[in-house]
Amino acid sequence: MSVYNKSDEHEVIYYQECLNEEKMGVVETLVFCKLNDYREQANRERFFLPEGEKLDLFIDIDTIKECIKFVK
């Protein structure tokens, strides 16, 4: 989560190394686009987990790795 919202508890649910900040920004944007249906509020990188779903819904590791591979 961005530094603008430090009031709530946040937990890292997945970590993947990226080549540099510029490419990390592109990967982040792609992942946020994929999660758009779960966005809590427009223009915020906060997402809700639908009732009955597991956290794995947000951790599609193959998709994240494909995005990183794409920007390489």
What is the C-alpha separation between 37 and 33, in angstroms, rounded?
8
Predicted confidence (pLDDT) per residue in 56-65, tens digit? 887 777 888 8
Predicted confidence (pLDDT) per residue in 30-64, tens digit? 888 888 888 888 877 778 888 998 888 877 778 88
Domain boundaries, the chain: 21-71
Across the strands, what pairs with 47?
39
Residue labelled with tokens 């966005």: 39
Phi and psi at 66, nearest 5°, equal -65, -40
End-to-end CA distance of the chain, in Å? 24
- pTM above threshold 0.75: no
DSSP character at residue 8: S
What is the C-alpha separation between 72 and 63, in angstroms, rounded?
14
